[in-house]
Amino acid sequence: MKICGPKLSLCGLIISVWGIVQLVLMGLFFYINSVALIEDLPLEEEYHSLEDFYAAANRAYNQNAYNCWIAACIYVLTLLLSAQQFYMNSRVTAN
């Protein structure tokens, strides 16, 4: 079954690989609470106590780490899909 053309499938392939690599790494960095990524967390402007902030930050870090990994998994799916499409396209052109 052929859905996308050769260019689109190649594009999907590249973005998927890139997405998997980068999102897995970013998930890892979120998981180890990387300070550089703190601005990308869904946090409130102010917290009343330090404990509140730590709890919220830890939760957000974990949440983001999982989100990144979920996105990476979705990219694995798109990778498979585009790879299959790419294979179909290359076989069509070969014949």
C-alpha dist (Å) from residue 37 to 10, 25, 32, 34 = 31, 12, 11, 6
Structure tokens at 88: 């179909």
> Is residue 55 involved in binding another protein (CB under 8 A)?
no
Decide whether 37 or 88 has the Cβ nearer to another protein.
37
Work out how close the CB of 19 gets to another protein at its nearest, in angstroms, rounded to a whole number.
5
Structure tokens at 21: 């690599």
| Residue choice 15, 24, 81, 88 for contact with another protein (CB under 8 A) | 15
> Is residue 13 involved in binding another protein (CB under 8 A)?
no
User: Cα torsion at 14, 15, 16, 21 (round to 10°)?
Assistant: 90
What does the binding site for another protein look like in residue numbers (CB under 8 A)? 15, 18-19, 22-23, 34-42, 50, 63-64, 66-71, 73-75
